[in-house]
Chains A and B, each alone.
Chain A
Amino acid sequence: MSMKFLAVAALGLALAACSTTEDQPATSGSAQAVTTTTAPPPKVVNNTVAVNAPRPGSQEELNATIGDRVQFGFDRYDLSPEARATVGSWADWMKRHQNVALNIEGHADERGTREYNLALGARRANAVKDYMTALGVASGRLQTVSFGKERPAVLGSNEAAWAQNRRGVAVVR
């Protein structure tokens, strides 16, 4: 969220810079305009650099450093070794940022019935939460919610899409 906002702000600065340089030719000579148009870009670059370092403890930092999701097998809710590694990193990250709380979302692919998939999503979200609490994260900082098959991450009725949609997602509250 905040990265998006900053990116927009930076773009706004660039536009403002452009508009002043464009305004100038009308009042001053065109030669001066050419020199001033080259001046603003470094400023914008500086802003962009600042944006690329996400605020510690933010969703953006989690996404950039660990990733916000783990995948599950078909009709499964156990964590694969790969998922365990990711969830373990989330736990470490939570310990570094004691003021952060997470929503753990559980999702299912479309190849199940709605009411079963709601229950399956709850199992997946809870599997993530259980592992994190076992690693020492206070359960009060982790809230689970199941979306069943209601919020696919990837569109498409094929194995690749379904695999990506069977997921647990960490969302910074």
Chain B
Amino acid sequence: MNQARSSIFSGGISSAIAILALAAFALLVGTAQQARAELQINVTDGVVEPLPIALAPFVDASGQEDKLGQDIAAVATADLVGSGLFRAIDEKAFIQTPAAAALAPRFPDWRQVNAQGLIVGAVKRQADGRIRVEFRLWDVIGEQQLVGQAFVTERSNWRRVAHLVADAVYTRLTGEDGYFDTRIVYIAESGPASRRVKRLAIMDQDGANHQMLSGGGDLVLTPRFSPSRQEVAYLSYDNGLPRVHILNVDTNQRETVGPLDGMTFAPRFSPDGDQLLFAREQRGNSDIHTMDLRTRKIRKLTNHPAIDTSPSYAPDQSRIVFNSDRGGAQQLYVMDADGGNVQRISFGDGRYATPVWSPRGDLIAFTKIKDGQFSIGVMRPDGSDERILSTSFLEEGPTWAPNGRVLMFYRQTATNRRGQGGTSRLYMVDVTGANLRQAKTPGGASDPAWSPLAP
């Protein structure tokens, strides 16, 4: 993973971003002792005790009065602590200075403050105006370097550098891909419940760089990221007609896609980004369709008088999970990519909806409605091992972090007769059910969709 992302890349999920990730550099301090039990977090079983880490403010090697090194460390720390897997040791407790530690860590000093992992780094300004950020992750107990990387980029990309640092640390210590260098597209909500204004919005995974993508004049719903292009598919009621649109978030170009003679909704890209699944309503009946985004050829995949909606491909695109009430109430069904071999997979009490296949392929996330409560849960693609992760008055619409370890969804409070309440917010929860927390948004928020990792 690190190696794959250590090559030169440009573009990325933000336009005109070029971060040069230099090859991991060698040990500076070759004093690795006898290998002890390696510093490692098992995320599969859920973490009881977060790993204590010291993330020292990055040293500004240019000696300028600038908080950049501090800011990078703070953003990376917030990522790691927010994951619930790490605990940051207060900087005030540090014995060795960050500047000295960046050159050569004195491990007993860091063991003394109970740090198991130590992250140090430095920021340099290059002659061409770009910044070079180096960092190292040290195993304090084993006294060895676990990660060493450098990034060269425009100064304005410093937050992305911080997320890349956090992703590298997370990946090295958990064995899982990271998810911090990602963005969220969602629906920003404002105004009273009776006249709610909904706008398409985008932000970094940690709430930074928030930006509105639509003006609020037309109702917009259910945005989804393209895995391969800087595009978002979503439902918009332009001229009062609900149709699937695709917006390029870099160029701001948008177009209506698919048939125009009825409602099209519930869009979702295929994992390779070349197909768009959606539901299409004709004479009141909704069926699943897929469109080849290059040829614009459309295939009807279900042909049933029941409601068929919310389709989602398996990562290998061989199968599709979707929501249907063909059995009398909303349940989850899996079919082959050509629409054949339809099989029901949800059999528990209650109604099931909004299935989304994990990018790892091992699980399907869903919304469950039972006894007047809404839950977010996961099950295996064959319907076994159902686990509920979160329950409240109203919550739905899970979306997977690209590493398949974390889910985001929205939760809405009840409304009283005077219209108070009824507000929505975004939440995250680990696939283990641990670390339920609210995501940062400037106001009301619903229908989140997680981007892939920036290339």
Interface residues of A (CB under 8 A from B): 75, 77, 103, 110-116, 118-120, 122-123, 125-127, 129-130, 144-148, 150, 152, 155-158, 161
Contacts and interface: CB of A to CB of B under 8 A. Distances in A.
B414 A157 contact: yes
Most buried by B among A77, A110, A113: A113
A122 B286 contact: yes
A123 B418 CA distance: 30
Interface stretch (B133-141, B338-346, B391-399, B433-441): B391-399
A114 B221 contact: yes
Contacts of B286: 119, 122
Contact of A123 (B285, B310, B372, B421): B285
A89 to B, nearest CB: 21
B242 A114 contact: no
A143 to B, nearest CB: 9
Interface in B214-263: 219, 221-222, 235, 240-242, 263
Interface stretch (B61-69, B122-130, B276-284): B276-284
29 contacts: A77-B284, A110-B415, A111-B372, A111-B394, A113-B310, A113-B367, A114-B396, A115-B353, A116-B310, A118-B265, A118-B309, A119-B281, A122-B284, A125-B284, A126-B284, A127-B284, A129-B284, A144-B284, A145-B242, A150-B221, A152-B193, A152-B194, A155-B194, A155-B418, A155-B422, A156-B417, A157-B393, A157-B416, A158-B417
Contact of A122 (B281, B329, B372): B281
Contacts of A157: 393, 414-416, 421-422
A126 B282 CA distance: 9
Contact of A115 (B241, B354, B414, B418): B354
A161 B422 CA distance: 13
A155 B423 CA distance: 12
A69 to B, nearest CB: 16
B263 A116 contact: no
B279 A119 contact: yes
A161 B281 CA distance: 27
Interface string B316-350: 00000001010001100000000000000000000
Contacts, number: 110
B447 interface: yes
Grouping DSSP codes into helix (H, G, I), strand (E, B) and loop, the A interface class, with mixed when no group exceeds half, is: mixed
Grouping DSSP codes into helix (H, G, I), strand (E, B) and loop, the B interface class, with mixed when no group exceeds half, is: strand
Contacts of B416: 155-157
Given A122-B263, A155-B194, A116 B422 contact: no
B369 interface: yes
B363 interface: no
A122 B85 CA distance: 45
Given A116-B307, A122-B284, A145 B263 contact: yes
Given A114-B447, A122-B284, A145-B242, 8 more contacts: A113-B323, A113-B397, A116-B309, A127-B284, A130-B284, A146-B242, A152-B194, A155-B415
A155 B417 contact: yes
State the 5 A-B residue pairs at the shortest beta-carbon distance, nearest first: A126-B284, A157-B414, A113-B353, A119-B286, A155-B419
Interface string B420-432: 0110000000000
A115 B222 contact: yes
A150 B307 contact: no
B266 interface: yes
